[in-house]
A and B are shown apart, each in its own frame.
Chain A
Amino acid sequence: EAGVAQSPRYKIIEKRQSVAFWCNPISGHATLYWYQQILGQGPKLLIQFQNNGVVDDSQLPKDRFSAERLKGVDSTLKIQPAKLEDSAVYLCASSFFGRTGNTGELFFGEGSRLTVL
């Protein structure tokens, strides 16, 4: 079974530039998460999708971050314009939704490391 795919693995940009990250979840997983992980800290949820609808984006800085999940499969997270404090690893995760046969586990991709200069 293929895992969660993310790209690019690494990205270096200047502040005020834009960047986009892509995530393809495990097939059949209805729930997709984007987390921001600053060095030495725990993952912070940016946005959670249920199929192609947003169920939680309360911590997404909407003036500069946007995300979409067209057709309920893969997803793109965009930052425009980037700030120095956006330097972090952006983790994508997916999981089943519902209670029947659901172990509750999140499956993570390898992450996309962003450096803003």
Chain B
Amino acid sequence: AQTVTQSQPEMSVQEAETVTLSCTYDTSESDYYLFWYKQPPSRQMILVIRQEAYKQQNATENRFSVNFQKAAKSFSLKISDSQLGDAAMYFCAYRSDWGYQKVTFGTGTKLQVIP
């Protein structure tokens, strides 16, 4: 069974600075997806960024980028030029590309942005 580990329960960053959230996972599969989701307080979970395992190039979405290390099973999220609106819970998730495509979430990292 796949597992996803987020070892940083809480992180803080100064506004306009850069922060990196860590995620590691365990799997024996070669094809899968990795995601970072954002969940603002009392609000809907939304996708931040996605990475297909077969792609070597790291995904980038505006101020958000990932460092995907397949061999190390590591998938970190970098947020550049942090904004107050980035404050939220961030969840790393793994989706199998086989069978019924189960999705497993990590325990989350609470990000605080300091003005």
Contacts and interface: CB of A to CB of B under 8 A. Distances in A.
A110 interface: yes
B114 to A, nearest CB: 21
B86 interface: no
Say which size band chain A's interface belongs to. Answer: 20 to 34
A45 B102 CA distance: 9
A99 B97 contact: yes
Interface string B82-115: 0000000001010101001111111110000000
A110 B103 contact: no
A109 B44 contact: yes
A43 interface: yes
Interface of A: 31, 33, 35, 40-45, 48, 50, 55-56, 91, 93, 95, 97, 99, 103-106, 108-111
Given A42-B105, A104-B33, A104-B97, 8 more contacts: A42-B106, A45-B102, A97-B100, A103-B33, A104-B50, A105-B47, A105-B50, A108-B45
